Amino acid sequence: MDKKNIGIGLIGLGVIGGKVAGVLLERGESLSEEVGQPIILRKIKVLEQDLSRPQAQEMEPHLFTTDEDEFFNTPGMDIVIELIGGEEPALTYQKKALLAGKHVITANKEIIAKHGAELAAMAQKQNVSLSYEAAVGGGIPLIMPFKRDLVANEIKGIYAIINGTTNYLLTSMSREDVDFASALKQAQKLGYAEADPKNDIEGIDSKYKLAILASLAFRSRIHPDDIYCEGVSRLSSRDFRYAKEMGYVIKLLALAKQSDGSIEVRVHPVCLPEDDFLAKVDGVYNAILVEGDLIGKVTFLGEGAGPLPTSSAVIADVVQVARDIVLGTVCRPVSRLQLDKKIKKMSEIVTRYFIRMNIADSAGVLAQIAKVLGDNNISIASAIQKEADEETKTAEIVIMTHPSPEKGIIQAVDELNRLDAVKEVNNFIRVEV
Amino acid sequence: MDKKNIGIGLIGLGVIGGKVAGVLLERGESLSEEVGQPIILRKIKVLEQDLSRPQAQEMEPHLFTTDEDEFFNTPGMDIVIELIGGEEPALTYQKKALLAGKHVITANKEIIAKHGAELAAMAQKQNVSLSYEAAVGGGIPLIMPFKRDLVANEIKGIYAIINGTTNYLLTSMSREDVDFASALKQAQKLGYAEADPKNDIEGIDSKYKLAILASLAFRSRIHPDDIYCEGVSRLSSRDFRYAKEMGYVIKLLALAKQSDGSIEVRVHPVCLPEDDFLAKVDGVYNAILVEGDLIGKVTFLGEGAGPLPTSSAVIADVVQVARDIVLGTVCRPVSRLQLDKKIKKMSEIVTRYFIRMNIADSAGVLAQIAKVLGDNNISIASAIQKEADEETKTAEIVIMTHPSPEKGIIQAVDELNRLDAVKEVNNFIRVEV
């Protein structure tokens, strides 16, 4: 076999890109051995300001270009790794690479979630591959297990804690009994939350990742817009305290379930029983539980982000694609999509609910609340009522319901809020088991 | 591309074989879609007595043969799946299949652990593949993640609870405060332990699995005989009680570590801190923690055995091999083995120890014990001494040491046993964190 070099082009020299470049340069020899032919980093597309980074200083200057055309015209570049993140210009770069017949590897969850189907079709047409193991769960192997190891299974569900920042925040709130704002401030100080934390705390990051996993698991096309999404910012330390009292832990869960040809996909805070395995996943860790009809429940746990784990996944893709190039077989058959699956409306889901409200401390209030719930076919599983606050003459009550349709809960919460005796329904959190 | 059928031959119709045959027949269409060409189960090699099994009754009689020659002469058989277990005749069958140019898929951990290197070399020579995802961890993806997803990493360690039977037993002993014999009896009654439980409870099954994983992880050749192995039968409910008091949980751990070019591989009971993730893995579940220099710690958790999960892994291999056949590329490059790695002798390892002993209830005993430990350079981290038994005039003492060389511990235990004041050193358990 011809000992042709396999050339890599890298777009982006941020924390992830810098690490990937470092691994490609430092471990070039052992990676080449894994592949059977030399792997060569040929060119890195950078921004002017990247050139002053310490990583850039350590590398040969001829590796860098700030010029898009120069980058794409680099000779002998078989694989393009896009690591700049965000939608543009990353999408344009990926398309340009695919159209030029180059294999694309990316960690860009937003692009794969929104445009994955289009890009995969382009890659297929060009007889090249599109790989994105690093887009979900950092270094935790997830994409390839879905594409290969779980392929005999009908996937019943995915239950995932898939955003390290929010899991860190919720762990702090639970352990230290602090409110959301102070937990966020602390996390930002320690570098676990970004200055603009919107994508993480509003569940958008989780939504992108769930769209990718659910599309693979259900051999379907789940767009981020199909996913109900609710963040963590309205959680208060009181929710955590009451949940704990009832034996529950609050987590931000990305959930996808399939039954009878219809799919549920949603990201929102949930109460999990404290002895549930996912309830024990704390701090910045990610955990992804996959339920299949043959495997039962398999859980993947690890650091879901960070330059080192992410570079591990990117390099795994590089080795895989390079091996396929060596073997002359890059374009694997694509599973036929089942596009007829119905996505359930949020109003159709059925689950248990944790409802916390402030009520007037007077006779007959509980009866009024129970009547509203009963009228909406919601039955109470348990309740906690705390002694009233002398000053404000209000009491707090938390109700855990039996499984009820979301539609009924929304209606009931609305009616409860209109009762004179109910000061406010402070929160309701879905319960998953 | 020619729409050639891909033919499968199956050896064995036990609980696993029966399920694999069922999946191949029932999901033939969707599996064929995954592969791009039809997958056909052509022949099943059975024993006379298998023919009366309910599964056999449901399948077409022409599928079966009890004749070895007839089986191997089946036309159009590309892949042979061996699912009879044990060393012979399974090994002979696998070799026969490879020499006939057939791809081999197996769940046989004993054969892969003992003869994997030889079989892989045979497969390589014949330009066919040898796959064994089902040999370790049932349906949990492990073999392919090591071969592909973690390939950029230098693997530092594997810490695995990898035998469901022993984990079930130890969970019972811990929860129900029962002794080993009664836990085993109960597990046998419930079908979680075999009538002859030797392979499980003496750690042999774990040893085979660790040999396979460590060989992959360290790109080396770890033979089961290289692995120190100690089972769980000498654990008593008293060990669990004291460990708990000190904040530890007892598990059977399969452990492989690599540092400075030398390797530790061992299977034995350990004390794990109760907040350690592996300490929380209960019942028949398996958990495999892999530590790599890039990924950090990634844990795979799931049911490690049973016909459904195991068939999931076997079928994943079938699909992978069939895809490679379709693409005309079955023999992937094999990583160069690093055979110069030294395996540490057990006497060279350093860890912490939990030592439980019965002592005479008289003055100065603790001083004598402390002197023996001190003379062997073992320092005490904590100790529990219980009030003496009035009748026997003995007391029980449990000592947790700081990290100490195994050599010193063996020497110290020997010396302690020779002290008049020490009735017996009942147990010592290594501590891993």
Positions of B marked active-site: 209
Q: What is the dihedral of CA B248, A289, A104, A129, to 10 degrees?
A: 120
Average pLDDT for residues B134-146, to the nearest whole number?
95
| B51 reaches A (C-beta below 8 A) | no
Average pLDDT for residues B9-26, to the nearest whole number?
96
Average pLDDT for residues B343-369, to the nearest whole number?
93
CATH of B6-136+307-327, one of 3.30.70.260, 1.10.940.10, 3.40.50.970, 3.40.50.720: 3.40.50.720
Chain A residues within 8 A of B27 when measuring between CB atoms: 152
| B326 reaches A (C-beta below 8 A) | yes
Chain A residues within 8 A of B150 when measuring between CB atoms: 141, 312, 316
Angle at B50 between CA B44 and CA B54, to 5 degrees: 100
| A22 reaches B (C-beta below 8 A) | no
Asked if B333 and A149 come within 8 Å (Cβ–Cβ), the reply is: no
Tokens of B258: 């690599």
Superfamily of domain A6-139+307-327: NAD(P)-binding Rossmann-like Domain (3.40.50.720)
What pLDDT does A330 receive?
59
Q: For residue B57, count CB atoms less than 10 angstroms from its CB and return exposed for 0-12, middle for 13-18, buried for 19 or more.
A: exposed
Asked if B294 and A336 come within 8 Å (Cβ–Cβ), the reply is: no
Residue indicated by tokens 């979630």? A113
Asked if A295 and B277 come within 8 Å (Cβ–Cβ), the reply is: no
Please measure the distance between the N-terminal and C-terminal CA atoms of chain A and give it in whole angstroms.
54
| A277 reaches B (C-beta below 8 A) | yes
Residue of B151, B281, B336 for testing the chain A interface, max A β-carbons within 10 Å: B151
| B34 reaches A (C-beta below 8 A) | yes
Please measure the distance between the N-terminal and C-terminal CA atoms of chain B and give it in whole angstroms.
54
Chain A residues within 8 A of B297 when measuring between CB atoms: 302-303
d(CA A377, CA A366): 16
- The answer to whether ipTM exceeds 0.85 is yes
* DSSP states along B317-375: HHHHHHHHHHHT---PPPPPP-TTPEEPPGGG-EEEEEEEEEEESSTTHHHHHHHHHHH
What pLDDT does B388 receive?
79
Q: How far is CA B179 from CA B175, B232, B251, in A?
A: 11, 11, 15
A285-292 and A296-303 as β-strands: parallel, antiparallel, unpaired? antiparallel
pLDDT at B150 over 80: yes
Q: Which of A164, A433, A158, A144 is nearest to A298 (CA)?
A: A158
Chain A residues within 8 A of B278 when measuring between CB atoms: none
Top-confidence residue, B335 or A67: A67
Say if CB A236 and CB A180 are below 8 A apart.
yes
Give the helix/strand (H/E) hosting A422: strand A422-431
Backbone Cα Rg of chain A: 25
* DSSP states along A335-391: PPP-TTPEEPPGGG-EEEEEEEEEEESSTTHHHHHHHHHHHTT--EEEEEEPPPBTT
Chain B residues within 8 A of A315 when measuring between CB atoms: 151-152, 294
Q: For residue B229, count CB atoms less than 10 angstroms from its CB and return exposed for 0-12, middle for 13-18, buried for 19 or more.
A: middle
* Cis upstream peptide for A38 (omega within 30°): no
Helix (H, G, I), strand (E, B) or coil at B106: strand
| B337 reaches A (C-beta below 8 A) | no
What is the assigned CATH class of domain B143-302? Answer: alpha beta
Alpha helices in A140-296 (DSSP H): 143-144, 164-176, 180-189, 198-201, 204-217, 237-245
Asked if B326 and A333 come within 8 Å (Cβ–Cβ), the reply is: yes
pLDDT at B406 over 70: yes
Q: Where are the domains of chain A?
A: 6-139+307-327, 143-303, 350-431
Asked if B34 and A328 come within 8 Å (Cβ–Cβ), the reply is: no
Alpha helices in A224-336 (DSSP H): 237-245, 307-327
What pLDDT does A1 receive?
41
Give B1's pLDDT tier (boundaries 50, 70, 90): very low
d(CA A43, CA A371): 69
- CB-nearest to B141 from A149, A323, A327 is A149
Residue of A24, A277, A298 for testing the chain B interface, max B β-carbons within 10 Å: A298
Asked if B300 and A299 come within 8 Å (Cβ–Cβ), the reply is: yes
d(CA A15, CA A192): 15
d(CA B176, CA B184): 13
pLDDT in tens, B152-193: 999 999 999 999 999 999 999 999 999 999 999 999 999 899
- CB-nearest to A149 from B27, B31, B316 is B316
* Cis upstream peptide for B403 (omega within 30°): no
Tokens of A350: 């059925």
Residue indicated by tokens 């860890």? B351
Helix (H, G, I), strand (E, B) or coil at A313: helix
Helix (H, G, I), strand (E, B) or coil at A253: strand
Q: How far is CA B414 from CA B365, B409, B418, B425, in A?
A: 16, 8, 7, 9
Q: Is A143-303 in CATH node 3.40.1010.10?
A: no
pLDDT at B335 over 70: no
Helix (H, G, I), strand (E, B) or coil at A332: coil
d(CA B30, CA B401): 57
What pLDDT does B334 receive?
59
How many angstroms away from the CA of A294 is the closest CA of chain B? 5
| A335 reaches B (C-beta below 8 A) | yes
Paired with A399 in beta bridges are: A355, A383
Sign of CA dihedral A52, A54, A58, A63: negative
How many angstroms away from the CA of B125 is the closest CA of chain A? 16
Q: Which of B413, B432, B408, B424 is nearest to B346 (CA)?
A: B408
Q: How many CB pairs under 8 A join A and B?
A: 169
What pLDDT does B53 receive?
86
- CB-nearest to A336 from B33, B328, B333 is B33
What pLDDT does B332 receive?
59
Angle at which helices B406-418 and B365-375 pack, to 10 degrees?
150
What's the maximum distance between 2 C-alpha atoms anywhere in chain A? 87
Asked if A327 and B329 come within 8 Å (Cβ–Cβ), the reply is: yes
Q: What is the dihedral of CA A228, A234, A240, A246, to 10 degrees?
A: -50
Residue of B149, B301, B319 for testing the chain A interface, max A β-carbons within 10 Å: B149
Tokens of B184: 């085993």
Phi, psi of B284 (to 5 degrees): -80, 5
| A27 reaches B (C-beta below 8 A) | yes
Give the helix/strand (H/E) hosting B126: helix B109-126
Chain A residues within 8 A of B335 when measuring between CB atoms: 33-34
- Amino acid identity, residue A115? H
Positions of A marked active-site: 209
| B100 reaches A (C-beta below 8 A) | no
Paired with A352 in beta bridges are: A431
Q: What is the dihedral of CA B232, B237, B243, B247, to 10 degrees?
A: 110
Superfamily of domain A350-431: ACT domain (3.30.70.260)
What pLDDT does B260 receive?
84
Q: Which of A292, A212, A300 is nearest to A258 (CA)?
A: A292
d(CA A284, CA B295): 14
Q: How far is CA B205 from CA A301, B108, B254, in A?
A: 25, 11, 10
Tokens of A403: 């499984």
**Segment 223-242 of chain B within 8 Å of chain A by CB:** none
Cβ atoms within 10 Å, residue B266: 24
Query: How far is residue B136 CA from its own chain's centroid?
Result: 6
Digitized pLDDT (tens) for each residue of chain A, 433 residues in all:
445 899 999 999 999 999 999 999 999 999 998 898 999 999 999 999 988 888 888 899 999 999 999 999 999 999 999 999 999 999 999 999 999 999 999 999 999 999 999 999 999 999 999 999 999 999 999 999 999 999 999 999 999 999 999 999 999 999 999 999 999 999 999 989 999 999 999 999 999 999 999 999 999 999 999 999 999 999 999 999 999 999 999 999 999 999 888 999 999 999 999 999 999 999 999 999 999 999 999 999 999 889 999 999 999 999 999 998 988 875 555 566 777 789 999 999 999 999 999 999 888 898 999 999 999 999 999 999 887 788 888 899 999 999 999 999 999 999 999 999 999 999 999 999 7
Tokens of A207: 């939504």
Chain A residues within 8 A of B145 when measuring between CB atoms: 141, 144-145
Tokens of B289: 């923690």
Say if CB A239 and CB A250 are below 8 A apart.
yes
Say if CB B5 and CB B38 are below 8 A apart.
yes
Chain B residues within 8 A of A316 when measuring between CB atoms: 148-152
Residue of B29, B144, B148, B288 for testing the chain A interface, max A β-carbons within 10 Å: B148
Q: Is B348-431 in CATH node 3.30.70.260?
A: yes
**Segment 132-161 of chain A within 8 Å of chain B by CB:** 133, 138-141, 144-145, 148-153
Say if CB A28 and CB A18 are below 8 A apart.
no
d(CA B223, CA B210): 9
